[in-house]
């Protein structure tokens, strides 16, 4: 049984935000518009955060942090959901049941990474984009929580075609499986099976540059970051 | 005043409706309707009409939830806990206090429902409820609390409903019919009074324990998350103390209003206000103790994420409400209790109101600043929160609704217990003890 | 069913909630009946009224 995880190399990341843009398109993430975004209602399943610029010119240092759901092995969000609308599947992906969610937002307040978002109103899409919504991803109604799913629809499709051909998914097939990874022009992102010691993600996760965010909280996140050189 | 005269006085409000009363009720109803319309707007457009956002996912509605459940604790404290220690001075206040409980809890529960993104899926809580979730613990404990309070309230009211049925023969037919049905055929009989006392005594023990559980569980919806300012062991006891504190302040206000409205100067005397004053001094100091314990510990530890929230309250965005809260909850009431409050009911009411406004602010300050400074995000994206007219309208409607139900109750039922203080009944109960 | 499963399985929490509330209802109903029956041997008037307290 694979345990899916991701590695993001912060040394290679240029902060271009292709990952964020592509994730929006792939997952039909609703648009808040500039007014609502200013009020804090924007939804970014994948968001590039920029840390404070340090140092003095010309020795400046900053860091771009592509932040998405950490798909923790010990998720605080799953723990507190009153109706089981968020759950961790057998392969370690933390998912949402949009039909069961009552919109209490307890999961959103429990997540220490701030990766959960709420549909404050009926989801909106600018007119031409309505025609480009991804048929593989369910649209969410007003009043429910949503977040990154590790592109579970792509994962299931890949597993299905591998099964049809009577073989297992290979590591090479999954490294760029998620939309964000696929879009990254700097090849800074990797996806794969953390339980396979030979996979790309496992090898990179063992690197001395690898670290996890808020590891001390015990949430056991599965998105590893590689420190800049 | 003889017992007969007193009874007439206590039953008098049940026989007539004053113009002032109708006007007052009309006003309250208008506020309630306003809030209902605001909520309708929210149902149609979604929670976008509120000021909540990311990361401030909870706001005024959840503040109201905690506040109203806290307010309810006063009634139980006075009617259950004081009953257990045999504080007879509580008797005239017991029903007035318990009525606050019975009418507050529904608005606490309603506030949660109002906050849900999908209130149409509320029943999912019963079909798919997970016992791991603090919200489910809330449903069980608050549900049980509401249920038990209503039963306790009703049972303590029962002999007096029978009294209304028997003594108030001049009232409209439907009103008399209501007393007849609700009296459940009660006839005065020593054995019945003894059994009633036994059940009330037993329920008082249960309710005293329930009070501790309920408000602790309410605090755990915050305390069980890993957010700075919330994940602290003191949260449960802190909320509990705050609840009994604010509730007792409310009882003082209720007592004073009822005393004036129903001419109860000889039933609710300065003596009763003095007992409450002494209790409230105790509560004020205990509350101060908890505040110091919490903030001193945080400050000494200097943990980065905790300090971000700490400074937001002490000197940052929330400094004004924070120090206002401290003044209203601690400084103003304590000064009043130690000086003017000894002789003046008016000043006691001022203290009671000050405490309640301060405690509402306190709930706000527990919930919102932590949400504006969540762990990972706070370095990179600070939050802000400004409640909108929808949230204020709904809040006003909850308070108006509480007052409406309370006033309606006092119009049709005696707010001061008659049977509990009647000498006949005392005799019945003493017989049993021999 | 392990202890952990009692807490984490959706639906079991719902059953616990309903059981607690219904249990309390039954107890309170019983207590009220007991109080009202104090000192009465013959059929009480509230039963003659047809009140459904059987």
pLDDT digits (tens, 9 = 90+) for B20-54: 899 999 999 999 999 999 999 999 999 999 999 98
Query: What's the pLDDT at B381?
Result: 60
As for how many domains chain B has, the answer is: 1
The stretch B299-317 carries a mean pLDDT of 93
Helix (H) or strand (E) holding A86: strand A86-88
Tokens of B10: 């206590």
Tokens of B192: 């019945």
- Chain segment A136-149, per-residue pLDDT in tens: 999 999 999 999 99
Question: Are residues B185 and C10, on separate chains, in Cβ contact within 8 Å?
Answer: no
Question: Are residues B131 and C16, on separate chains, in Cβ contact within 8 Å?
Answer: yes
Question: Are residues B117 and A142, on separate chains, in Cβ contact within 8 Å?
Answer: yes
Q: Which residues of A touch B122 (CB under 8 A)?
A: 102
3-state secondary structure chain B: CCHHHHHHHHHHHHHCCCHHHHHHHHHHHHHHHHHHHHHHHHHHHCHHHCCCCCCCCCCHHHHHHHHHHHHHHHHHHHHHHHHHCCCHHHHHHHHHHHHHHHHHHHHHHHHHHHHCCCHHHCCHHHHCCCCCCHHHHHHHHHHHHHHHHHHHHHHHHHHHHHHHHHHCCCCCHHHHHHHHHHCCCCCCCHHHHHHHHHHHHHHHHHHHHHHHHHHHHHHHHHHCCCCCCCCCCCHHHHHHHHHHHHHHHHHHHHHHHHHHHCCCCCCCCHHHHHHHHHHHHHHHHHHHHHHHHHHHHHHHHCCHHHHHHHHHHHCCCCHHHHHHHHHHHHHHHHHHHHCHHHCCHHHHHHHHHHHHHHHHHHHHHHHHHHHHCCHHHHCCCCCCCCCCHHHHHHHHHHHHHHHHHHHHHHHHCCCCCCHHHCHHHHHHHHHHHC
Closest residue of B to C19, CA-based?
A: B140
Query: What's the pLDDT at C49?
Result: 64
In angstroms, rounded to a whole number, what is the distance separating the alpha carbons of residues A78 and A219? 11
**Chain C contacts in chain B segment 107-146 (CB below 8 A):** 125-133, 136, 139-140, 143-144
Distance of CA A73 to the CA centre of its chain: 14
CB contact C13 to A (< 8 Å): yes
**Chain B contacts in chain C segment 5-24 (CB below 8 A):** 6-18, 20-21, 24
Confidence at C42, pLDDT banded by 50, 70, 90: low
Tokens of B180: 């007849």
Q: Which residues pair with A224 in a beta bridge?
A: A7
Average pLDDT taken over every residue of chain A: 94
CB contact B22 to A (< 8 Å): no
Distance from CA of A15 to the nearest CA of B (A): 15
Tokens of A112: 């220490």
Is the model's pLDDT at C44 over the cut of 70?
A: no
Question: Are residues B116 and A118, on separate chains, in Cβ contact within 8 Å?
Answer: no
Q: Which residues of B touch C2 (CB under 8 A)?
A: none
Tokens of B274: 């003095």
Q: Are B132 and A83 in contact (CB under 8 A)?
A: no
C14 → closest Cβ in B125, B189, B195? B125
Q: Identify the residue whose tokens are 């059929």.
A: C43
The domain that holds A208 is classified in CATH as: 3.30.70.20
Query: What's the pLDDT at A31?
Result: 92
CB contact B297 to A (< 8 Å): no
Where b means 16+ CB within 10 Å and e means fewer, B69-89 reads bbbbbbbbbbbbbbbeeeeee
Contacts of B342 (CB under 8 A, 6+ apart): B274, B277
Q: Which residues of B touch C7 (CB under 8 A)?
A: 130-132
In angstroms, rounded to a whole number, what is the distance separating the alpha carbons of residues B322 and B340? 26
In angstroms, rounded to a whole number, what is the distance separating the alpha carbons of residues B420 and B92? 9
Question: Are residues B122 and A102, on separate chains, in Cβ contact within 8 Å?
Answer: yes
Average pLDDT taken over every residue of chain B: 91
Distance from CA of A189 to the nearest CA of B (A): 21
Distance from CA of A99 to the nearest CA of C (A): 14
CB contact B371 to A (< 8 Å): yes
Chains A & C: contacts with CB separation below 8 Å: 4
Is the model's pLDDT at A175 over the cut of 90?
A: yes
Percentage of residues in chain B with pLDDT exceeding 70?
98
Query: What's the pLDDT at A200?
Result: 96
Pairing of strands A223-226, A4-9: parallel
In this structure, of B236-240, B264-268, B283-287, B430-434, the range with the lowest mean pLDDT score is B430-434
Is the model's pLDDT at C40 over the cut of 80?
A: no
Query: What's the pLDDT at A62?
Result: 81
Neighbours of B380 (CB within 10 A): 14
Q: Which residues of A touch C10 (CB under 8 A)?
A: 83-84
Query: What's the pLDDT at B342?
Result: 87
CB contact B200 to C (< 8 Å): no
Nearest CA-CA partner of B407 in B31, B55, B118, B136 = B31
Confidence at C51, pLDDT banded by 50, 70, 90: low
Question: Are residues B147 and C45, on separate chains, in Cβ contact within 8 Å?
Answer: no
Question: Are residues C13 and B191, on separate chains, in Cβ contact within 8 Å?
Answer: no
C39 → closest Cβ in B147, B151, B191? B191
Query: What's the pLDDT at B79?
Result: 80
The stretch A192-200 carries a mean pLDDT of 95
What are chain A's partners, defined as 3 or more CB pairs within 8 angstroms? B, C
The domain that holds B93 is classified in CATH as: 1.20.1630.10
Q: Are B337 and B284 in contact (CB under 8 A)?
A: yes
Q: Which residues of A touch C9 (CB under 8 A)?
A: 84
Where b means 16+ CB within 10 Å and e means fewer, A164-178 reads eeeeebebeebbbbb
Query: What's the pLDDT at C41?
Result: 59
How many residues belong to chain C? Answer: 54
Q: Which residues of A touch B225 (CB under 8 A)?
A: 76, 80, 109-110
Helix (H) or strand (E) holding A192: strand A189-193
φ, ψ (nearest 5 deg) of residue A86: -120, 140
Q: Which residues of C touch A82 (CB under 8 A)?
A: 13
Question: Are residues A114 and B226, on separate chains, in Cβ contact within 8 Å?
Answer: no
Distance from CA of A102 to the nearest CA of C (A): 14
Query: What's the pLDDT at B339?
Result: 93
Query: Which domain range does residue B151 map to?
Result: 3-433
Q: Which residues pair with B218 in a beta bridge?
A: none
DSSP letter, residue A74: S
Distance from CA of B217 to the nearest CA of A (A): 13
Tokens of B320: 């004004």
Confidence at B262, pLDDT banded by 50, 70, 90: confident
- Chain segment B85-109, per-residue pLDDT in tens: 888 888 888 899 999 999 999 999 9
Tokens of A11: 């040394």
What are chain B's partners, defined as 3 or more CB pairs within 8 angstroms? A, C
Query: Which domain range does residue A216 map to?
Result: 4-226
Closest residue of B to A142, CA-based?
A: B46
Question: Which of B43, B54, B61, B381 to mutate to test binding with chain A, by most A CBs within 10 Å of its CB?
Answer: B54
Question: Are residues B130 and A83, on separate chains, in Cβ contact within 8 Å?
Answer: yes
The end-to-end CA distance of chain B, in Å, is 30
Question: Are residues B130 and A113, on separate chains, in Cβ contact within 8 Å?
Answer: no
The stretch B275-304 carries a mean pLDDT of 94
Tokens of B414: 């005696």
- Chain segment A60-110, per-residue pLDDT in tens: 888 888 999 999 999 999 999 999 999 999 999 999 999 999 999 999 999
- Chain segment B120-174, per-residue pLDDT in tens: 999 999 999 999 999 999 999 999 999 999 999 999 999 999 999 999 888 899 9
Is the model's pLDDT at B217 over the cut of 60?
A: yes
Pairing of strands A64-67, A47-50: antiparallel
**Chain A contacts in chain B segment 333-352 (CB below 8 A):** none
Query: What's the pLDDT at B51?
Result: 95
Nearest CA-CA partner of B222 in B357, B369, B385 = B369
Neighbours of A121 (CB within 10 A): 17
The stretch B243-263 carries a mean pLDDT of 90
Question: Are residues B48 and A120, on separate chains, in Cβ contact within 8 Å?
Answer: yes
Angle at the Cα of B192 (from B191 to B195), degrees rounded to 5?
85
Contacts of B72 (CB under 8 A, 6+ apart): B100, B101, B102, B104, B105, B108, B145, B149, B243, B247
Contacts of B401 (CB under 8 A, 6+ apart): B28, B32, B35, B107
Which one is predicted more confidently, B264 or A115?
A: A115
Q: Which residues of C touch B199 (CB under 8 A)?
A: 31, 34-35
Query: What's the pLDDT at C38?
Result: 80
Q: Which residues pair with A223 in a beta bridge?
A: A6
Is the model's pLDDT at B430 over the cut of 80?
A: no
Distance from CA of B355 to the nearest CA of A (A): 28
Question: Which of C1, C3, C17, C46 to mutate to test binding with chain B, by most B CBs within 10 Å of its CB?
Answer: C17
């Amino acid at each position: 049984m694979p345990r899916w995880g991701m590695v993001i190399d912060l040394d290679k990341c240029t902060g271009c935000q292709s990952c964020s843009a592509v994730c929006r398109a792939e997952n039909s993430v609703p648009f808040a518009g500039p007014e609502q975004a200013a009020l804090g209602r924007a939804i970014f399943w994948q968001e590039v955060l920029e840390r404070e610029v340090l140092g003095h010119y010309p020795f400046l240092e900053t860091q771009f942090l592509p932040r998405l759901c950490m798909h923790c092995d010990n998720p605080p969000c799953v723990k507190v959901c009153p109706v089981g609308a968020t759950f961790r599947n057998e392969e370690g992906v933390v998912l949402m049941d949009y039909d069961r969610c009552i919109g209490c937002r307890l999961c959103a307040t429990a997540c220490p990474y701030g990766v959960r978002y709420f549909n404050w109103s009926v989801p909106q899409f600018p007119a031409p984009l309505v025609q480009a919504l991804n048929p593989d991803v369910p649209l969410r109604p007003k009043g429910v929580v949503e977040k990154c799913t590790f592109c579970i629809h792509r994962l299931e499709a890949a597993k299905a075609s591998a099964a049809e051909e009577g073989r297992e998914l290979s590591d090479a097939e999954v490294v760029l499986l998620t939309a964000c990874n696929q879009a990254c022009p700097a090849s800074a992102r990797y996806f794969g099976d953390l339980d396979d010691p030979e996979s790309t993600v496992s090898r990179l996760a063992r690197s001395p540059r690898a670290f996890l965010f808020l590891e001390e909280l015990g949430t056991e996140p599965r998105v590893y970051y590689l420190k800049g050189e | 005043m003889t017992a007969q005269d007193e009874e007439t006085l206590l039953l008098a409000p049940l026989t007539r409706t004053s113009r002032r009363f109708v006007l007052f009720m009309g006003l309250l109803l208008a506020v309630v309707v306003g809030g209902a319309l605001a909520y309708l707007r929210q149902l149609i457009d979604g929670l976008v009409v509120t000021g909540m956002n990311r990361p401030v996912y909870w706001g005024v509605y959840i503040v109201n939830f905690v506040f109203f459940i806290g307010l309810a604790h006063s009634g139980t404290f006075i009617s259950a806990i004081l009953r257990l220690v045999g504080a007879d001075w509580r008797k005239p206040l017991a029903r007035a206090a318990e009525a606050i409980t019975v009418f507050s809890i529904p608005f606490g529960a309603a506030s949660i429902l109002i906050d849900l993104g999908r209130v149409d899926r509320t029943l999912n809580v019963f079909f798919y409820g997970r016992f791991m979730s603090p919200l489910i613990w809330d449903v069980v404990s608050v549900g049980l609390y509401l249920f038990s309070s209503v039963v306790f309230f009703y049972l303590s009211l029962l002999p007096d409903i029978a009294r209304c049925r028997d003594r108030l023969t001049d009232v409209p037919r439907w009103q008399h019919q209501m007393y007849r049905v609700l009296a459940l055929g009660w006839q005065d009989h020593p054995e019945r009074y003894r059994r009633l006392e036994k059940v009330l005594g037993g329920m008082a023990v249960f309710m005293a324990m329930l009070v501790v559980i309920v408000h602790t569980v309410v605090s755990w919806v915050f305390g069980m998350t890993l957010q700075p300012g919330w994940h602290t062991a003191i949260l449960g006891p802190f909320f509990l103390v705050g609840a009994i504190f604010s509730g007792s302040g409310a009882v003082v206000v209720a007592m004073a209003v009822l005393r004036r409205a129903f001419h109860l100067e000889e039933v609710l005397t300065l003596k009763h206000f003095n007992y409450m004053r002494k209790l409230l001094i105790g509560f004020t100091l205990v509350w101060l103790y908890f505040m110091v314990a919490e903030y001193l510990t945080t400050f000494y530890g200097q943990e980065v994420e905790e300090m971000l929230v700490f400074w937001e309250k002490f000197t940052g965005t929330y400094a004004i409400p924070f120090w206002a809260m401290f003044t209203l909850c601690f400084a103003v009431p304590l000064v009043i209790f130690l000086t003017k409050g000894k002789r003046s009911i008016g000043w006691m009411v001022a203290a009671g109101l000050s405490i309640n406004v301060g405690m509402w602010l306190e709930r706000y300050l527990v919930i919102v600043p932590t949400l504006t400074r969540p762990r990972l995000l706070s370095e990179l994206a600070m939050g802000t929160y400004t409640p909108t007219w929808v949230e204020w309208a709904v809040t006003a409607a909850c308070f108006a609704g509480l007052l409406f139900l309370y006033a309606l109750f006092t119009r049709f039922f005696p707010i001061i217990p008659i049977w509990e203080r009647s000498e006949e009944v005392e005799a019945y109960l003493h017989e049993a003890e021999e | 069913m392990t202890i952990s499963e009692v807490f984490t399985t959706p639906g079991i929490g719902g059953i616990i909630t309903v059981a607690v509330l219904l249990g309390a209802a039954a107890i309170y109903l019983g207590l009220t009946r007991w109080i009202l029956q104090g000192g009465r041997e013959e059929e009480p008037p509230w039963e003659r009224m047809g009140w459904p307290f059987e």
